[in-house]
Structure 1
Amino acid sequence: MTAPSTTEASDTEAKPTSPRRTFGLTAATALVMGNIIGGGIFALPATVAPYGTVSLLAFLVLSVGAVLLALLFGKLARRSPVTGGLYVYPRDAFGEFAGFLSAWSYWTMCWVSIAALAVAVVGYVDVLIPLHGNHALEAVVALAALWLPAAANFAGTRAVGAVQVISTILKFVPLLLVATVGLFFVDADNFGPFNASGQSVSGALAASAALLLYSFLGVESAAVSAGEVRDPERTVGRASVLGTLASALVYILGTVAVFGLVPHDRLVDSGAPFADAVNAITGGTWGGTAIALVAVASIVGCLNGWILLAAQMPYAAARDGLFPTPFARVGKGGVPGFGIWACAVLGTILIALNYTAGPDTTFRVLVLITTFTGCVPYLLSAAAQLYWLAKGSRAHISPARLVRDLLVAALSFAFAFWLIAGAGYAAVYQGVLFLFAGIPVYVWLRGRREAKELGETRQADSEPGAACQASTGR
């Protein structure tokens, strides 16, 4: 797509969305933090413990990469401050097909992740109210965790922003307390070996980073929701960086505290590592209940933000005719209602599969490829920025700023590429198949649109007097 069409896309998008820009810096930062810090943090230390403390180094690498992506999205949002973000950037740079692939990949990652988060609620609710392994009750809890934040989204973007701020505070403060107070109770003997995996250090680093990436998905939240953000040219970049830095701080300090509070051999088999860490601090057993309450609030708040993103990405693509038309409909609350229904229904189907088909279901396979489907839009967005810089944007910026922008874009591209490679052969293979499964959708929509345009052209040419008007210049 050429530069003029980029301007047209931005103008047409900005006019209808500008009256409902309800996210200021605080709400936008909370959206980023709320989507990054979900339920994963509460199980994360135990997940990476088998690799040893090398996973702490992986956390640092991922934090740097996430900040680079935040800076990248801030730059891109200055060019296209509209809803859609990671769909808009590749579309404007490389055309509709690249935009569709990015939107399809991101949308897939969103609704699969939404179902996974809803299922994650069950384990924490079981601590508060024992479910005794009843799959029917577990499914009801997961569905409630999915549909309650979906209902909040139907109330409008203002309600979404309010929920994000409240839920972010509820989960951020307790986690930060564990991550700071817990450091005073750390025992160096609990950390265990640096590399406990038996692999090379580089192999263990890449493997643990692939597992940890899921916890950083959401850095793009403000960019995807730019159409709802006030002064997006400035706010998106600031909110992305602030939200990412704050989340990384909690992740790193919290994981260090848990590693130092819980002996390594116990941490590897822990089902609630933060609860075990709180118990080590207090010497009591109330930590599990407290952390379970925080976890439920955290995941519900995270679902609230992810459902909004899952609806806004196809909304932006549908306005260009690259997703089915119903996705472009906006309700009274300023949110794409059909998109919310779609992700909630798809999530419900996956939840049902999880509780009826056993542990080795398609649902679990799809969860494994969310890293791949999340990184594809990152990769394409970084490539779009490199394209714009190479095309001629350097004429408008100083050499020092050009070098900085090129470095951010190149490192972001390399970071996304490394994460895709680290996801493993199986995840990449399955992810590519799932990505290509969207091509028939693109072909059908593109064909229908062009057929309609051709029919309208022929009808106009066949109207009485058309030839006469053409000859007279009318």
Structure 2
Amino acid sequence: MAENKKKMSVMQLTIITAVNMLGSGIIMLPSKLAQIGTMSILSWLVTLTGALCLAYSFARCGMFSNRTASGMGGYAEYSYGKDGSFMANFTYAISLVIANVAIAISAVGYGEVFLGVTLKPFEITLSAMALIIITTVANFWGPRVTGNIGTITVWGVIVPVVVLSVIGWFWFSPHMYASSWNPHHESLFTGISASIPITLWAFLGLESAAANSDAVENPKKNVPIAVLGGTIGAGIIYILSTNVMAGIVNNHALVTSNAPFGLTFATMFTPVIGKIVMGLMVLACIGSLLGWQFTVAEVFRSSANEGYFPALFKKVTKREAPIVGMVTLMICQILLSLLTISPNLINQFNTLVNLAVVTNLVPYVLDMGALKTIQMSAGLTKESKGFKLTNVIAVIAGIYSLYSMYASGSEAMVLGALVAFAGWTIYGFVSYKYDLPDAQKESQQNNA
């Protein structure tokens, strides 16, 4: 009884799940969506459906997986063995590295408008690189400091987004919204597809929502409820906030803005309020980047513990900070910033988002394919409650994931394919640890 009192209720876990998704991913969404028009609301509905299927499937994965190696790599191993586990870990880790650069670009975009300066493309990249360095170094003091900062700064995004979703309708113009429905006269399928990557970007990380299953009462019942409830809650706020903006600020202004939320609040109230919102969102982006720098280092560290990545990623300090790994990843992010320089900040952001989405979807597809095996390994049969429904939902989630890859565009698909092929090549150099007979394996490991 005392133990249950210490555990979260389903409502508390639902709120935590929603808050975790309402991070910095939303702050550049309106500018990208405005390029498509307000018909992007249809993309939101498609993505919310896909995200719900993915969230439910990952909740089931977490409940029935009994492998020591948890997470997406551990789930994939059920059906695809160590090579599938490696690929899930590798592509997920790479997607986080790419996403960190996109978050840094977001912060620079808002900071540019907040400070009233206009930066050249190379200056934008230098500023993003500076943020990457600062947030990496700030993590040297360990996860406790990072966590404390993140829990405060995340409200810099959540508060403006929720306020806009609730009271923004007093400034909403139905005529302005309707006139922005399809500014480029695209077909329905083209318009929906073009918005899918950026709407899915807002939900990336939903797979981590089931990570708190041990901390909630009656997890088999409550984890799926919390994951679905949190995803629906985040989705509603995303849809309300981005669509109300399209009826407050004209389409052209949104398309060209590097700080759409600040612009909206300035239009609703005063430029001073707009500046305050911009400042809050810059801080939220920096706090989010700070947390993700530690997270990506932890992903690489856990993969190194599995033998997938070089041992340098396993080294930690007394404060439990994997500094060597962080610095290595910082250099990778700096190089990626240079490789994606674009004349337009939003174009650079879009390139990074599309590539991050494609690489992140690889483990999603693998895990959806493995869910049936995971359930059967836990002793479930065709007659077990929820077995067939879960398989159907996993198939829908898998189809949605493949569609999202296609919607990300040919450039992102080609680059994503190169990342995947590079992963298979790298796995070839570590596969001896798993694929040789035990005696040979021990001998080779000693000589490696």
Shift of 1:451: 7.8
Larger Rg: 1
Aligned length: 433
1:268 aligns with 2:255: yes
Partner of 2:81: 95
Partner of 1:51: 36
Q: Distance in 2 between matches of 1:39 and 1:305?
A: 11
Partner of 2:136: 150
Q: Which segment drifts farther, 269-278 or 249-258?
A: 269-278
**In the superposition, relative to structure 1, how do residues 366 and 452 fare at CA in structure 2: closer, same or farther (>3 Å)?**
farther
Partner of 1:161: 147
Q: Distance in 1 between matches of 2:120 and 2:186?
A: 39
Partner of 2:5: none
Shift of 1:132: 4.7
The 8 Å contact of residues 43 and 273 in structure 1, kept in 2 or not, is answered as yes
**In the superposition, relative to structure 1, how do residues 271 and 314 fare at CA in structure 2: closer, same or farther (>3 Å)?**
closer
Partner of 1:388: 374
Residue 423 of structure 1, aligned match among 408, 412, 415: 408
1:106 aligns with 2:98: no
Partner of 1:5: none
**In the superposition, relative to structure 1, how do residues 190 and 358 fare at CA in structure 2: closer, same or farther (>3 Å)?**
closer
* Residues 321-360 of structure 1 aligned to structure 2 (within 5 Å): 321-353=307-339
Partner SS state of residue 111, structure 1: helix
Partner of 2:207: 220
Letter of the structure 2 residue corresponding to residue 93 of structure 1: S
Q: Distance in 2 between matches of 1:366 and 1:169?
A: 25
CA RMSD, 1 decimal: 3.7
Shift of 1:303: 1.3
Q: Which segment drifts farther, 344-353 or 426-435?
A: 344-353
Deviations 1:233-278 (A, max 9, x none): 9387566445433432321111121011113344333343322322
Partner of 2:172: 186
Q: Distance in 2 between matches of 1:417 and 1:320?
A: 28
The 8 Å contact of residues 30 and 168 in structure 1, kept in 2 or not, is answered as no
Letter of the structure 2 residue corresponding to residue 143 of structure 1: M
Shift of 1:38: 4.2
Deviations 1:356-412 (A, max 9, x none): x9779999855542221011111111111133346674339733x223322332221
The 8 Å contact of residues 109 and 258 in structure 2, kept in 1 or not, is answered as no
Letter of the structure 2 residue corresponding to residue 199 of structure 1: E
Shift of 1:135: 6.8
The 8 Å contact of residues 197 and 408 in structure 2, kept in 1 or not, is answered as yes
**In the superposition, relative to structure 1, how do residues 430 and 137 fare at CA in structure 2: closer, same or farther (>3 Å)?**
closer
Q: Distance in 1 between matches of 2:131 and 2:69?
A: 26
Q: Which segment drifts farther, 120-129 or 362-371?
A: 362-371
Q: Distance in 2 between matches of 1:326 and 1:24?
A: 40
Partner of 1:432: 417
1:377 aligns with 2:326: no
Q: Distance in 2 between matches of 1:83 and 1:305?
A: 22
Residue 193 of structure 2, aligned match among 174, 198, 206: 206
Letter of the structure 2 residue corresponding to residue 276 of structure 1: L
Letter of the structure 1 residue corresponding to residue 329 of structure 2: C
Q: Distance in 1 between matches of 2:319 and 2:189?
A: 49
Q: Distance in 1 between matches of 2:48 and 2:263?
A: 25
1:255 aligns with 2:242: yes
Stretches of structure 2 lacking an aligned partner (at least 5 in a row): 1-7
Shift of 1:456: 7.4
The 8 Å contact of residues 45 and 267 in structure 1, kept in 2 or not, is answered as yes
Partner of 2:276: 290
Q: Distance in 2 between matches of 1:152 and 1:138?
A: 21
- Aligned-pair identity in percent equals 25
TM-score (norm 1): 0.79
Q: Which segment drifts farther, 427-436 or 239-248?
A: 239-248
**In the superposition, relative to structure 1, how do residues 458 and 156 fare at CA in structure 2: closer, same or farther (>3 Å)?**
closer
1:245 aligns with 2:199: no
The 8 Å contact of residues 41 and 239 in structure 2, kept in 1 or not, is answered as yes
**In the superposition, relative to structure 1, how do residues 122 and 267 fare at CA in structure 2: closer, same or farther (>3 Å)?**
closer
Residue 63 of structure 1, aligned match among 43, 48, 69: 48
Shift of 1:90: 0.3
Q: Distance in 2 between matches of 1:363 and 1:455?
A: 47
Q: Distance in 1 between matches of 2:75 and 2:325?
A: 21
The 8 Å contact of residues 62 and 209 in structure 1, kept in 2 or not, is answered as yes
Deviations 1:387-443 (A, max 9, x none): 3346674339733x2233223322211221211121223321221112111222211
Letter of the structure 2 residue corresponding to residue 197 of structure 1: H
Letter of the structure 2 residue corresponding to residue 115 of structure 1: V
Deviations 1:18-53 (A, max 9, x none): xxxxx9999987885566444442332221223222
Residue 196 of structure 1, aligned match among 173, 180, 183: 183
Shift of 1:289: 0.8
Q: Which segment drifts farther, 166-175 or 264-273?
A: 264-273
The 8 Å contact of residues 186 and 261 in structure 1, kept in 2 or not, is answered as yes
The 8 Å contact of residues 382 and 413 in structure 1, kept in 2 or not, is answered as yes
The 8 Å contact of residues 73 and 220 in structure 1, kept in 2 or not, is answered as yes
Partner of 1:471: none
Partner of 2:3: none
**In the superposition, relative to structure 1, how do residues 316 and 354 fare at CA in structure 2: closer, same or farther (>3 Å)?**
same
**In the superposition, relative to structure 1, how do residues 193 and 178 fare at CA in structure 2: closer, same or farther (>3 Å)?**
closer
Partner of 2:430: 445
* Residues 19-34 of structure 1 aligned to structure 2 (within 5 Å): none
Letter of the structure 2 residue corresponding to residue 441 of structure 1: I
Partner of 1:121: 107
| Larger relative contact order, structure 1 or 2 (CA cutoff 8 Å, min sep 6) | 2
Q: Which segment drifts farther, 144-153 or 254-263?
A: 144-153
